[in-house]
Every structure is written in structure tokens, then in C-alpha cells.
Amino acid sequence: MSDLTHLSAPIRVCQKEIKNRIVVPAMADFGMTGPDGLVNQRHIERYGAYARGGAGLIIIEACAVTKFPETRGTIGLYSDECLPGLEKLARAATENNAVSLVQIMDTGLSVMPENSIEEISREKFRQYRGDFVSAALRCKKAGFDGVELHAAHGMYLDQVIETSRRGDGYGGSFTDRLRLLTELIEEIKAVCGHEFIVSVRFGSSDLGELVKIAKAIEMAGGDILDVSTGMFSYGGIPADFPYDGKLYAASLVKRNSRLPVIGVGKIQTGIQAEEILDQGIADMAAVGRGHLCNPDWASRIFSGEKLELCRECRTCMWYIDGRKCPVARARKQAEGKKQDQDLLIGGC
Ligand SMILES: Cc1cc2nc3c(=O)[nH]c(=O)nc-3n(C[C@H](O)[C@H](O)[C@H](O)COP(=O)(O)O)c2cc1C
């Protein structure tokens, strides 16, 4: 077994101890949620498996703060009707001393009635903003340790940061485009309390701007910087950088901020994750598809057990049913066979 000293070290965020540096990043499985947006048993089993599997920080998939006619199969946070399911989900995702956040988001213009950020009326803009705060409060009531504002991957908050030309203080200059995000951090802290963790997932193809966004998040009182640009790659990455470009972006942010930084991007093995922390690229390592293939990724790497490796076939990506993942299917089949055998042995 290799030495995984950095990966196994706890980290304190907002009075909370996160027991190790392994993060399950937000990963929506659009095949799991019905149009009602309510949490169901499959969500509870899925996130319970990550918690029992040893990850220190579990970020629940992108959940919608506003209800639009097109829900795109996301979990909803928009009414108190969602609370009983969220409470069960919080219990499952915090089993085994895991810390758990909910990623809160609006998909943005593709599901909104407006065609551009400027077209959103002042009243609607305020309502969408308020929905983030109400959703965060529901997450707190449900028993989660915090939220992650999804300001990356072209979602609503990212659209405002990247494109807004609104004339009401929320568009145009860089500071004004960031105002919605920084106000949300401040307001969620004011409403949910300072011990309630606020992480932000963000990314920009302009690396200079990326660092400035990180600084603004820090100034506004955010607690964790989760750097990701989704499927896009960054320009300006040195040819000899040995990891995914998202990790290069994370390393720049880490060099320029005092907040803990989550790095993500094709981390498959414990040795890779340890190296990334050891080299000061990030403070925590998010392992996405590695967890889809091995919900117990953390305990496997700590015990030296063999990992199932993601084949990068992308059947899990975006609006495609995650159940098609060939590695997860093979694992389920093997588990089924083992359970049958256990039953037989038990019967003897
Ligand atoms: C099935 C799937 C769903 C995802 N859903 C989200 C999401 O809801 N929010 C988000 O910020 N990123 C999402 N992502 C991106 C992941 O959080 C992660 O950044 C990405 O998979 C890269 O990490 P990896 O190479 O370890 O898989 C998703 C990725 C996958 C594979």
C-alpha cells in the first residue's frame, strides 16, 4: 500500500472537520429524478454508498432552486414539500462522519422564459436571487453542512458572470457581473449562519479572470473554491503540465488564495490524488467518475484494494442515463452474484 499521508489528513472548514481530502463532486444522474423533483430511495442509496465508502466531503448533485416547467430531471429545492426527502438524503450523505453540501443552481436561459440575462425584469431577477437563499436555508433545515453555489459550466450564475450587460448594477463591468454571486455568498452566510459552509464551483477560460473571481469569493466570505470549467479546456496551460487542465487552473487559484481549493479532472487512483496534493496543486481531490465506478473509492485506496477504472466511454455524461456505465453495470452484476453466493452459504 502506498503512503497517502496528504490524502488521509483531515482539514477544517468553518469549524467542521472533514476527515480526509477526498471529495465526491456534484454529479447529476438525470435518469434518477422524476418531474416532481423529489428525492427518492435511489438517491438515498447512491449517496449513502459514497458516505459509507469513506469520502470526507460529498457534494450532492446540482439541484434546482427555482421550478421551471422544464425540470430536466433535477432534484428540486423550491418548496417545503421537498424537505422530508432532503432530510433523508442529508442523513444518508453524512453517515460515517462525512461532511455533505448540496450544489444549488438554476440551469439558466435554456429553461427560463427569457432569452438573455438583460431581458430578465428587475423583479424576476430579485426573485431568482431570493430562490437561491431560500434553497440554502432548506438545505440547512434538512441537516446538510452547507451548500455549493454552481457558478460554472454555463449555468445561470455563470451566465450572469460571463455575459450580463444589465444596467442595474448586475452587469457590464467585472465587479458588477460578479455582484450577484458575492451578494449570494454574503446573504446565505447571514441567513444560515457563519458555521454553514459555502463553497463555490466556478471556472473561466480567462485564467487572469479566474484568479480575480477567486479573490472576490474569498472577500465575500466564501469557504471553499471548487475550480472547474466542465468540458471546456483552458488555453495557456504549459505543455509539460502532467494533469488535466482543470487542475492547472486549480493550482493557479491555490497560489493566489488562502481558501481551501478543490481540484478535479480525471483523477483515477490514490497515487495520482496524493501526488496532486503533495505538489500543492489543490488542497482536496475531487474524484467524479472514479466514484461512479467505485462508490467506495476512498476506502479502497486506503486499504490498497483494486479499483475499477473508468473507461472514459462517456455514457454517464450529462443528459444520458448513468445506469449505462459499463463499469458500474459489471460491478452490480458481480455484487449480485456474490450476494447469491452469500445467501447460499448462509442457507447451509
Ligand atoms: C454523470 C455526471 C454528472 C455531472 N453532474 C455535475 C453536476 O451536477 N454539477 C457539476 O458541477 N458538475 C457535474 N459533473 C462534473 C463532475 O463534477 C466532475 O467535475 C467531472 O466529472 C470531472 O471529474 P472526473 O474526471 O473525476 O470525472 C458531472 C459529471 C458526470 C460524469
pLDDT digits 0-9 by tens, 199-258: 999 998 888 999 999 999 999 999 999 999 766 566 778 889 999 999 999 999 999 999
| Residue located nearest, by CA, to atom 18 of ligand 1 | 288
pLDDT (0 to 100) of residue 29: 82
Mutating to test ligand 1, I would choose from 22, 23, 24, 27 the residue with most ligand atoms within 8 A of its C-beta, which is: 27
pTM of the model: 0.94
Distance from Cα 17 to the centre of ligand 1, integer Å: 24
> What does each C-alpha distance from 112 to 117, 202, 294 come to in angstroms?
10, 21, 36
Among residues 27, 257, 55, the alpha carbon closest in space to that of 153 is found at 27
290 lines ligand 1 (CB under 6 A): yes
Q: Whose CA is nearest to atom 10 of ligand 1?
A: 26
Q: 124: closest CA among 137, 106, 140, 141?
A: 106
For residue 334, give the 3-state DSSP assignment: helix
Min mean pLDDT across 53-57, 105-109, 127-131, 227-231 is at 227-231
Query: Which domains are delineated in the chain?
Result: 5-310 (3.20.20.70)
Atom of ligand 1 nearest to the CA of 268: 26
Mean pLDDT of 300-325: 83
- Residue 329: which pLDDT band, with cuts at 50, 70 and 90? confident
pLDDT for 299 beyond 80: yes
% of the chain beyond a pLDDT of 70 = 93
Q: How far is the CA of 225 from the centre of ligand 1 (A)?
A: 16
- What percentage of the chain carries pLDDT values higher than 90? 79
Query: Separation of 27 CA from ligand 1 center, angstroms?
Result: 5
Residue 25 CA to ligand 1 center (angstroms) comes to: 6
Nearest CA to ligand 1 atom 13: 27
Q: Which atom of ligand 1 is nearest to the CA of 316?
A: 1
How confident is the model over 9-45, as pLDDT tens digits? 999 999 999 999 999 999 998 778 888 999 999 999 9
With H, G, I as helix, E, B as strand and everything else as coil, classify residue 16: strand
Question: For residues 199 and 147, is the Cβ–Cβ distance under 8 A?
Answer: yes
What is the mean pLDDT of the segment spanning 70-80?
91
Give the pLDDT score at 338.
58
Q: Which one, of 172, 62, 144, 178, lies nearest residue 111 by Cα?
A: 62
The stretch 148-167 carries a mean pLDDT of 97
Report the alpha-carbon distance of residue 65 to residue 138 in Å, rounded: 10
Give the H or E element holding residue 6: helix 5-8
Q: Which pLDDT does position 233 carry in this prediction?
A: 64
The string of DSSP codes covering 74-133 is PPB-SSGGGHHHHHHHHHHHTGGG-EEEEEEE---TTTSS-SSGGGS-HHHHHHHHHHHH
Neighbours of 153 (CB within 10 A): 20
- For atom 29 of ligand 1, the residue with the nearest CA is 27
**From CA 207, how far away is CA 43, in angstroms rounded?**
35
Residue written as grid cell 455568498: 185
From 161, 241, 255, 242, select the one nearest 200 (Cα to Cα).
Answer: 161
Averaged pLDDT score across all residues of the chain: 92
In which residue are the cell numbers 414539500 written?
A: 81
pLDDT band at residue 2, thresholds of 50, 70 and 90?
A: low
Alpha-carbon torsion 169, 175, 178, 182, what sign?
A: negative
Q: How far, in Å, from the CA of 191 to the mean position of ligand 1?
A: 29
Ligand 1 atom showing the smallest separation from residue 290 Cα: 26
Cβ atoms 28, 292 nearer than 8 A: no
Of the listed ranges 99-108, 232-241, 279-288, 308-317, the one predicted with least confidence:
232-241
Predicted local confidence at residue 342, as pLDDT: 38
- At 189 the three-state DSSP class reads helix
Average pLDDT over residues 178-195: 98
If you take atom 5 of ligand 1, which residue's CA is the nearest one?
Answer: 27
